[in-house]
């Protein structure tokens, strides 16, 4: 990879390959202009260098400046799938609706925290956090405790799929970060495995592997796992050791099965053979590990960390589609995109008539045409809860998604 000083970056620069700010954290996808706020974030995080396999591509200054000035990104990075090439999506833009006298909040906690799905989701996180605490404290824990959580997760997921995806993208629960990340990864892994029509016993092992995939992090110092600035090369090497610590915990403390151990051990291997710890490539990587790898990467991108902001679900899916068989098995990416859609549940989108809606469901065979609930009509009227109609874009061919909107950029506040 090419190492570039952060101080040498300028707004409008476009790279032929993704730019990574730290390890595998994408700062900006391929063929997407850098914004000033991207560069400012590097300074805030204390990151002195970025890495990329690509090179700077020239672009007409007027086009770049226009993209920067209105906060928009380019339509679709090179190498993205046919879904993105045909979408006509214009990228992220802020809604200029500040003149309204009402406020729209897209947090779902207030309205759903007492619901059954929310309690089920929170209960899973708290149970796994308790198991992790016991393991960290040296208390004997049986693999059965993980399997019980996995069984409960699969049962809850059957009835609450849409809600659980909502919670993952909304980041509605704070605390128990390792357990929350592991539950989220297990949910996404289970859905992907089900889309691939894997047998139940295989899905159960994949869920268990996802629940445990990062447990080795508890063997690393907090100075590294909670560091807010950039990591040194030596610290990055310690981070890369966590699959080995995980493997030891699974095999020597939990006495877990070989299949679960392989998933956790190999989830950072890459399709091109440049991963770790063993540089395995292609189909030689365990199928469950390939599934968890994609789920883990998506979860990391949409979750806020101490050192960076989260990406919205649409941008995270774009990043996965732009991988081009480097990190991930292309077949897993296709399956993952089918369950999540190009615009995952909870995404805020602008339609071609300038109305604004929220994605409430997706069609696995038509990821560009989800079901949406109207939030703001084409005349700019803010619709109250319950007023907005559900529209199936697969049936209503007159409407289509023009671009996704970052929920943090879209708010209506009192003057």
Instruction: Locate the domains of the chain by residue range.
Output: 2-74, 109-310
Determine how β-strand 14-15 pairs with β-strand 348-351. Answer: unpaired
Distance (Å, rounded) from C-alpha 130 to C-alpha 124? 10
315 has a pLDDT exceeding 80: yes
215 has a pLDDT exceeding 50: yes
pLDDT tens, position by position, 378-412: 998 988 877 888 999 999 989 999 888 876 666 54
| Residue 171 and residue 162 in contact, taking contact as beta carbons nearer than 8 Å | no
Residue 312 confidence (pLDDT):
80
Nearest to 243 by CA among 273, 225, 263: 263
Q: Is the model more confident about 281 or about 66?
A: 281
Residue 201 confidence (pLDDT):
95
DSSP for 182-212 reads HHHHHHHHHHHHHHTT--HHHHHHHHHHHHH
Give the pLDDT band (50/70/90) at residue 22.
low
% of the chain surpassing 70 pLDDT = 79
Residue 333 confidence (pLDDT):
95
What end-to-end distance do the CA atoms of the chain give, in Å? Answer: 48
Mean pLDDT comparison of 43-57, 131-145, 212-226, 306-320, highest-scoring range: 131-145
Give the pLDDT band (50/70/90) at residue 190.
very high
Residue 415 confidence (pLDDT):
38
The structure tokens listed for 352 are 């071609």
Q: What share of the chain is helix, strand, coil (3-state, %, to 5)?
A: 45, 10, 45
Determine how β-strand 25-28 pairs with β-strand 49-52. Answer: unpaired
pLDDT tens, position by position, 332-387: 999 999 999 889 988 889 999 999 998 988 888 888 899 999 999 999 898 887 78
CB atoms within 10 A of CB 339: 20
pLDDT tens, position by position, 253-280: 999 999 999 999 999 999 999 999 999 9
Q: What is the mean pLDDT of the chain?
A: 80
Distance (Å, rounded) from C-alpha 299 to C-alpha 241? 20
Distance (Å, rounded) from C-alpha 378 to C-alpha 90? 18
Residue 57 confidence (pLDDT):
64
CB atoms within 10 A of CB 100: 17
| Residue 3 and residue 26 in contact, taking contact as beta carbons nearer than 8 Å | no
Q: Is the model more confident about 32 or about 169?
A: 169
Residue 356 confidence (pLDDT):
93
Residue 89 confidence (pLDDT):
34
Question: ω into residue 277 within 30 of 0, thus cis?
Answer: yes
Give the pLDDT band (50/70/90) at residue 51.
confident
Q: How far is CA 75 from the centre of its chain?
A: 19
282 has a pLDDT exceeding 50: yes
Mean pLDDT comparison of 101-115, 160-174, 301-315, 365-379, highest-scoring range: 365-379
When pLDDT is averaged across residues 242-263 and rounded to a whole number, the result is 96
CA dihedral over 86, 87, 92, 95, signed as positive or negative:
positive
Distance (Å, rounded) from C-alpha 128 to C-alpha 83? 36
Distance (Å, rounded) from C-alpha 78 to C-alpha 85? 9
| Residue 211 and residue 146 in contact, taking contact as beta carbons nearer than 8 Å | yes
CA distances from 293 to 189, 273, 359 (A): 9, 14, 25
Q: Is the model more confident about 398 or about 38?
A: 398
When pLDDT is averaged across residues 24-52 and rounded to a whole number, the result is 73
pLDDT tens, position by position, 64-115: 333 333 333 333 333 333 333 333 333 333 333 333 333 444 444 444 555 7
413 has a pLDDT exceeding 70: no
Give the pLDDT band (50/70/90) at residue 172.
low
pTM beyond 0.75: no
Nearest to 294 by CA among 274, 312, 276, 320: 320
Residue 96 confidence (pLDDT):
38
Determine the longest span between alpha carbons in the chain, in angstroms. 63
Residue 392 confidence (pLDDT):
95
pLDDT tens, position by position, 10-21: 887 877 777 877
Q: Which CATH architecture has domain 109-310?
A: Orthogonal Bundle (1.10)
- Of 147-151, 311-315, 393-397, the poorest mean pLDDT is in 311-315
When pLDDT is averaged across residues 293-304 and rounded to a whole number, the result is 90
Mean pLDDT comparison of 29-43, 199-213, 383-397, highest-scoring range: 199-213
């Amino acid at each position: 990879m090419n190492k570039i000083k952060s101080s040498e970056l300028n707004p409008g620069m476009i790279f032929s390959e993704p730019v990574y700010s730290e390890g595998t954290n994408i700062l900006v996808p391929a063929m997407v202009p850098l914004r000033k706020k991207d560069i400012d974030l590097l300074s805030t995080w204390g990151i002195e260098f970025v890495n990329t396999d690509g090179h700077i591509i020239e672009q007409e200054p007027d086009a770049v400046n226009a993209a920067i000035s209105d906060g928009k990104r380019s339509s679709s990075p090179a190498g993205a799938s046919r879904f993105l090439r045909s979408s006509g999506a214009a990228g992220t833009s802020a809604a200029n609706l500040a003149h309204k006298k009402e406020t729209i909040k897209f947090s779902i906690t207030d309205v759903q925290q007492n619901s059954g799905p929310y309690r089920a989701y929170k209960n899973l996180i708290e149970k796994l956090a308790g198991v992790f605490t016991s393991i960290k404290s040296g208390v004997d824990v049986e693999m059965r405790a993980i399997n019980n959580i996995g069984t409960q997760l699969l049962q809850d997921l059957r009835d609450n799929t849409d809600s659980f995806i909502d919670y993952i993208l909304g980041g509605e629960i704070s605390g128990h970060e390792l357990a929350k990340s592991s539950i989220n990864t297990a949910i996404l892994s289970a859905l992907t495995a089900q889309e691939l029509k894997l047998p139940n016993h295989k899905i159960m092992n994949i869920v268990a592997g996802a629940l445990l995939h990062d447990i080795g992090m508890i063997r690393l110092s907090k100075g590294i796992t909670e560091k807010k600035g950039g990591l040194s090369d030596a610290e990055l090497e310690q981070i890369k050791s966590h699959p080995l610590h995980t493997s030891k915990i699974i095999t020597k403390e939990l006495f877990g099965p070989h299949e679960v151990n392989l998933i956790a051990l190999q989830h950072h291997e890459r399709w091109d053979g440049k991963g770790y710890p063993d540089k395995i490539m292609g189909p030689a990587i365990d199928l469950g590990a390939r599934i968890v790898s994609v789920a883990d990467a998506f979860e990391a991108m949409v979750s806020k960390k101490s050192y960076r902001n989260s990406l919205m679900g649409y941008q995270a899916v774009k990043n996965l589609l732009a991988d081009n068989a480097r990190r991930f098995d292309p077949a897993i990416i296709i399956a993952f995109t089918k369950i999540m859609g190009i615009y995952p549940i909870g995404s805020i989108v602008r339609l071609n008539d300038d109305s604004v809606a929220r994605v409430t469901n997706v069609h696995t065979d038509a990821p560009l045409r989800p079901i949406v609930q109207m939030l703001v009509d084409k005349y700019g009227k803010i619709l109250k809860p319950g007023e907005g109609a559900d529209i199936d874009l697969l049936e209503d061919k007159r409407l289509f998604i023009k671009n996704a909107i970052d929920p943090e950029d879209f708010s209506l506040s009192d003057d």
